[in-house]
A and B are shown apart, each in its own frame.
Chain A
């Protein structure tokens, strides 16, 4: 009964599958080979899409934490912790693909440039977030404290980025979000947009599964509590 087995989840799965197939086709068949970097540049489409998912996830951790603190509803905590898990998974993949790409293009797996460093710091912050959750038994304190770490961790992202960016930068300049319009050739841009769309669908799908899991975990917890409440009457 993955994620409740509803019809919408099958629709979503199908849509993700189709979009992802289209993205893979476009990455390898449709998009032209980049002249300077060669075929390795095809890694960029997934790399960039996963980075987008990672940042979106961490934003959701922030939103979920803030709403949880305001409303104290377990649902928003589930959203935050599902997003954190997915965010960490994707950040890890972004770091690995970035390293592979960098090895071929820059000749080094790692450089201390602003975006790489910020991403690595983000990875540390949200691994810490997940660790903290594991260290606290009592569900309400766990949710509360995790929400605070999620909020503080996200607030520091722009400051972190700014400070590292001023400090040193080697990463290619932004290619899509620029004031004078995108510089990517149209086929590459189309490929990128389709890939981002496919990964966003994948993200929604993964979020639903992870949330279903977290909901069951909360349900087990609730039921243990109910059993405790009544056990004296046994």
Chain B
């Protein structure tokens, strides 16, 4: 393989790594987001079952 095509190969590997890394990271965040949303929904469900509880205190965040 010529010098130049070796360079091109490394260039390709380099950018492949960059994009696989970034996209992989984004997929990881999306998966975590879905899992946490599921948790949140189940917790909300638990609260719905006890409607006499005070609600206002839950909005402490923000």
Confirm or deny: A217 has a beta carbon within 8 angstroms of a beta carbon on chain B.
yes
Known interface pairs A206-B26, A216-B40. Does A233 touch B14 (Cβ–Cβ under 8 Å)? no
> Contact: A213 with B8, CB < 8 Å?
no
Range for the number of chain B residues in contact with chain A: 35 or more
> Contact: A218 with B14, CB < 8 Å?
no
* Chain B contact residues: helix, strand, loop or mixed: helix
- From A40, A202, A212, A216, B10 is in contact (CB under 8 Å) with A40
Contacts of A217 in B (CB 8 A): 36
Interface residue stretch chosen among A62-70, A97-105, A127-135, A150-158: A97-105
Known interface pairs A217-B36, A222-B58, A229-B57. Does A38 touch B3 (Cβ–Cβ under 8 Å)? yes
* Chain A contact residues: helix, strand, loop or mixed: helix
Contacts of A40 in B (CB 8 A): 7, 10-11, 14
> Contact: A227 with B29, CB < 8 Å?
no
> Contact: B33 with A2, CB < 8 Å?
yes
Question: Number of residue pairs across A and B with beta carbons under 8 Å?
Answer: 99
> Contact: A93 with B17, CB < 8 Å?
yes
> Contact: A104 with B6, CB < 8 Å?
yes
B35 to chain A, nearest CB (A): 10
Known interface pairs A38-B4, A39-B4. Does A46 touch B18 (Cβ–Cβ under 8 Å)? yes
Most chain A CB within 10 A, of B10, B32, B60, is at: B10
Give CA–CA (A227, B49) in the complex, Å.
11
Give CA–CA (A219, B39) in the complex, Å.
10
Confirm or deny: A224 has a beta carbon within 8 angstroms of a beta carbon on chain B.
yes
Confirm or deny: A125 has a beta carbon within 8 angstroms of a beta carbon on chain B.
no
Contacts of A100 in B (CB 8 A): 10, 13-14, 17
Contacts of A38 in B (CB 8 A): 3-4, 7
B56 to chain A, nearest CB (A): 10
Confirm or deny: A220 has a beta carbon within 8 angstroms of a beta carbon on chain B.
yes
8 A-B interface contacts by CB (under 8 A)? A2-B33, A37-B7, A39-B11, A93-B17, A100-B13, A219-B40, A222-B58, A226-B57
Interface residues of A (CB under 8 A from B): 1-2, 37-40, 42-43, 46-47, 50, 74, 86, 89, 92-93, 96-97, 100-101, 103-104, 202, 206, 209-210, 212-213, 215-220, 222-224, 226-227, 229-230, 233-234
